[in-house]
């Protein structure tokens, strides 16, 4: 008899490029491999279908949600394999800009929930890299908790990881598994990826599951990889080997969420406060 509080989760680590068809084929193969390995929940990274810095080239490949070939194909894979599938994100055309949109697909292949990345990555890094997501992407306006037979998943994407209030709000709204599929730059990933993932898990007493892009991509960017599954006590249950494409798996035992939140009940102990400048 199976334990309804436990399931196997998988992260698909990718090294996406400029060809949506090639990225789609790689994602489909990896998701099927994860399902064959016993995963009931599989997550792909941010920008699963396309990694492209050039704005004109990006728009040339991107269309509305209803015609997105990767979304349609992965919905069918979820239905075929009977898994819950989280597409880390796809670029979806919304008027003059693009939504960086995650999808939670149920075992029947239906879209259970979608989430548009809230926080846009507009930064200048010390190594000379400059990113202006707001020039191309429109930010979301709503946090999302997706209820599934496995768990309640809090959906976030990449740069959201640096905003702890979002994760606390998701946990307070009932999420037991928090997710941050990413395309983290190598420089910032080396500095902060592990500590931020573990901190979000510890602060909320939740699992963190984050599939990542890794390696040097065709558009010139380099991403950190190191997909992670972290338990509510901040322990790393599974980690991808460096930036290489592959799959990681770990058992998710939701009893650990209740245990961590009982031992360190920060969600229950929070008090309202004002800030006074003296």
Q: Which two tokens stand for residue 275?
A: 């800030």
**How much is the pLDDT for 1?**
38
Angle between helices 164-172 and 186-204 (to 10 degrees): 30
**Average pLDDT value for residue range 163-170:** 98
Question: Which of the pair, 5 or 2, is modelled with greater confidence?
Answer: 5
DSSP 8-state class, residue 147: E
pLDDT of residue 81: 98
Q: What is the pLDDT of residue 275?
A: 97
The enclosing domain of 15 has a CATH number of 3.60.110.10
- Determine, yes or no, domain membership for 276: no
> Is residue 16 included in any domain, yes or no?
yes
Say yes or no to pLDDT of 36 above 80.
yes
Tokens of residue 268, six digits: 């229950």
pLDDT at 263: 97
- Give dist(CA 27, CA 70) in Å, integer: 9
Q: How many domains does the chain have?
A: 1
- Whether residue 75 is predicted with pLDDT greater than 60 in this model: the reply is yes
Instruction: Choose among 89, 90, 100, 82: nearest CA to 39.
Output: 82
Mean pLDDT in residue range 212-233:
97
Say if residues 229 and 209 touch (Cβ distance below 8 Å): yes
Q: What are the pLDDT digits (tens) for 175-189?
A: 999 999 999 999 999
Nearest-angstrom CA–CA distance, 5 and 109: 22
Copy the structure tokens of residue 91: 């670029």
* Cβ atoms within 10 Å, residue 39: 25
Q: Is residue 127 very low, low, confident or very high in pLDDT (cuts 50, 70, 90)? A: low
**Strands 228-230, 222-224: parallel, antiparallel or unpaired by DSSP?**
unpaired
3-state secondary structure (DSSP) of residue 180: coil
For the segment 110-133, the average pLDDT, to the nearest whole number, is 83
Per-residue pLDDT at 125 exceeds 90: no
- Select from 174, 162, 10, 170 the least CA-distant residue to 78: 10
pLDDT of the residue at 4:
77
What is the greatest pairwise CA distance in the chain? 61
Whether 127 is in a domain gets the answer yes
- 96 carries an active-site annotation: no
By residue range, what is the domain housing residue 259? 6-267
- % of the chain residues with pLDDT over 90: 90
Measured distance CA(153)–CA(209) in Å, rounded: 10
Measured CA angle at 60 (ends 59, 66), to 5 deg: 75
Query: Rounded CA gap, 248 and 239, in Å?
Result: 7
Whether residue 165 lies inside any domain: the answer is yes
Q: Specify burial of residue 234 (Cβ count, 10 A radius: 0-12, 13-18, 19+).
A: middle
What mean pLDDT is reported for the chain?
95
pTM > 0.85: yes or no: yes
Q: For position 84, what pLDDT does the model report?
A: 98
- Given a cut of 90, whether residue 129 has pLDDT beyond it is no
Please, what is the angle between helix 69-81 and helix 20-36, to 10°? Answer: 10
**155 assigned to some structural domain:** yes
Residue of 11, 52, 117, 239 marked active site = 117
Residue 128: pLDDT band by 50, 70, 90 thresholds?
A: low
Domain-embedded: residue 31: yes
Cα–Cα distance, 275 to 265 (Å, whole number): 23
- In a domain? residue 170: yes
Q: Name which residue leads in pLDDT, 183 or 55.
A: 183
- Exactly one of 46, 52, 133, 239 is catalytic; which is it? 46
Q: Extract the tokens encoding 220.
A: 């010139």
* Region of residue 211 (left: phi > 0; alpha: psi -120 to 50; beta: else): beta
11 counts as catalytic: no
Q: Reply yes or no on whether the pLDDT at 11 is more than 60.
A: yes
Q: Percentage of the chain with pLDDT > 70?
A: 97
8-state DSSP, 265: -
Q: Which position among 52, 158, 183, 239 bears the catalytic label? A: 158
Task: Report how far residue 214's alpha carbon sits from residue 221's, in angstroms, rounded to the nearest whole number.
Answer: 10
pLDDT in tens, 182-219: 999 999 999 999 999 999 999 999 999 999 999 999 99
Active site (annotated) includes residue 97: no
Give Cβ neighbours of residue 191 (< 8 Å, ≥ 6 apart).
none
Residue 73 lies in a domain: yes
Q: Calculate mean pLDDT across residues 35-59.
A: 95
């Amino acid at each position: 008899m199976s334990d309804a509080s436990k399931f196997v989760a998988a992260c698909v680590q990718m090294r996406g490029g400029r060809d949506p068809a090639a990225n789609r084929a790689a994602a489909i193969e990896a998701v099927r491999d994860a399902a064959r390995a016993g995963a009931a929940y599989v997550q792909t990274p941010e920008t699963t279908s396309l990694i492209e810095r050039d704005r004109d080239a990006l728009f040339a490949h991107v269309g509305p949600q209803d015609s997105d070939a990767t979304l349609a194909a992965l919905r069918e894979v979820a239905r075929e394999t009977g898994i819950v599938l989280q597409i880390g994100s796809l670029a979806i055309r919304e008027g003059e800009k693009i939504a960086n949109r995650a999808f939670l697909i149920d075992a029947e292949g239906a879209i259970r929930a979608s989430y548009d990345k809230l926080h846009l990555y507009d930064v200048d890094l010390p190594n000379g890299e400059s990113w202006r997501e707001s020039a191309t992407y429109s930010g979301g306006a709503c946090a999302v908790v997706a209820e599934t037979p496995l768990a309640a998943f809090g959906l976030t994407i990449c740069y959201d990881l640096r905003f702890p209030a979002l994760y606390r709000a998701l946990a307070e709204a009932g999420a037991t598994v928090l997710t941050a599929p990413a395309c983290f730059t190598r420089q910032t990933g080396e500095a902060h990826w592990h500590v931020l993932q573990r901190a979000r898990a510890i602060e909320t007493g939740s699992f963190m599951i984050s599939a990542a892009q890794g390696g040097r991509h065709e558009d010139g960017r380099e991403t950190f990889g190191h997909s992670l599954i972290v338990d509510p006590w901040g322990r790393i249950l599974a980690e991808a080997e460096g930036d290489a494409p592959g799959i990681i798996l770990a058992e998710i035992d939701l009893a650990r969420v209740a245990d961590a939140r009982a031992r360190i009940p920060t969600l229950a102990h929070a008090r309202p406060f004002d800030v006074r400048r003296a």
